[in-house]
Amino acid sequence: MSDLTLSIDAMGGDAAPEVVLDGIKLFSARSKDIRFLLHGRHSEIEPGIASRGLEGICEICDQPEVVSMNAKPSSALRKAKGTSMWSTVEAVKDGRAAAGVSAGNTGALMAMSMLALRKMEGVHRPAMTAIWPTLKGRTVVLDVGANLDADAEQLVEFAVMGESYARAVFGIEKPAVGLLNIGSEEEKGRDAIKLASEILRTRDLGIDFKGFVEGNDISMGVVDVVVTDGFTGNVALKTAEGTARLVSTYVRQALTSSPLSKAGALLARRGLMDLRTKMNPSSVNGGVLLGLNGVVVKSHGGTDAEGFATAVGLAANLARSNYMQEVATGLTRVGRQDIAAESVSK
């Protein structure tokens, strides 16, 4: 008997619903105790469920409308009711599902999630996370696109939420946190970053703050959580993804350029397969909208089945963790410190 239900936007993404259903099939082969509410057009989803043998774990919530990938958030909100995306988030709000997953329009998903789930107390703006592969394992980076800019107070909130998220996902008791900057020296950077650094260093927020980190430090795994604004984070993320594809292409070209290279590739086949796995974006797919009263995971719109299965697994892990309680506790500490600071300044 299933002990967890996940809400899935079956129509979200570039190749929905096929990739969504393939991802659920992959995930369900590894986790037998989860059932799914699939939101979208019944006529398009039902045959796919039957052909994949998913009838026993999937229930369809028929929704005729789909949010297009290029729709503006404001336009999507006006037409939210009746869409697969809204229905996905609403199921989380109503308690029918423990978490939601969508590969649809990012801006629309953020807008609908904020409207339906509301922000947690103490959160000015929710943030979107990315899990970044590093030489030491994995690192959480936030924000990666939800907010183009962020002031010092918001950066501190991101640090609190990211630290709690890393503890829940990675199982690290005391995640190390750093602020992304153009240098490690204290005098460098914008005023908001320098003020956020001062707050994190001087106030008792229970965070293991390591100071400023630079872009190259992310992949080195210098810290467990990297905090930045959404503009910078998104540029860094897309640059890293593009670099990974570039390196992968170069390696493939080098190993197929001559008969001797092909022979060498054959001998190094196992190591190359490991490299391919580590560089595969599908293995780290899934960004969480932190700071909301519910768990919503955003999958890449162009992901494959393995990537969608990864996003589903992330949603399941978070639904079973206590990260929301930890975020709430951390935000409470920030609020108390703010009150204390105001009292001293008067």
Cα-based distances in Å from 250 to 246, 255, 264: 6, 9, 15
CATH code of the region 125-283: 3.40.718.10
Same fold, 1-123+291-346 and 125-283: yes
CA 145 to chain centre: 10
What was the pLDDT predicted at 298? 93
DSSP secondary structure, 71-127, as one string: --HHHHHHT-TTBHHHHHHHHHHTTS-SEEEE-S-HHHHHHHHHHHH-BPTT-SS-E
Residues of the chain falling short of pLDDT 70: 1-2, 272-283, 335-346
What was the pLDDT predicted at 167? 87
Q: How far apart are the first and last CA of the chain?
A: 59
Structure tokens at 71: 């729709």
What was the pLDDT predicted at 60? 96
Architecture of domain 1-123+291-346: 3-Layer(aba) Sandwich (3.40)
HSE (CB half, 13 Å, CA atoms) of 275?
13
* Dist. CA 286–CA 101, nearest whole Å: 9
What was the pLDDT predicted at 339? 46
3-state SS assignment for residue 41:
coil
Burial of 43 (0-12, 13-18, 19+ CB in 10 A): exposed
pTM summary value = 0.83
Strand-pairing partners, residue 9, are 39
* Dist. CA 230–CA 128, nearest whole Å: 8
Rg (CA), the chain: 21
Q: Where are the domains of the chain?
A: 1-123+291-346, 125-283
Say if CB 312 and CB 27 are below 8 A apart.
yes
Structure tokens at 187: 């005098």
What was the pLDDT predicted at 122? 82
What was the pLDDT predicted at 8? 97
What was the pLDDT predicted at 1? 39
DSSP-derived pairing of the beta strands 208-213 and 4-9: unpaired
* Dist. CA 136–CA 94, nearest whole Å: 39
What was the pLDDT predicted at 328? 81
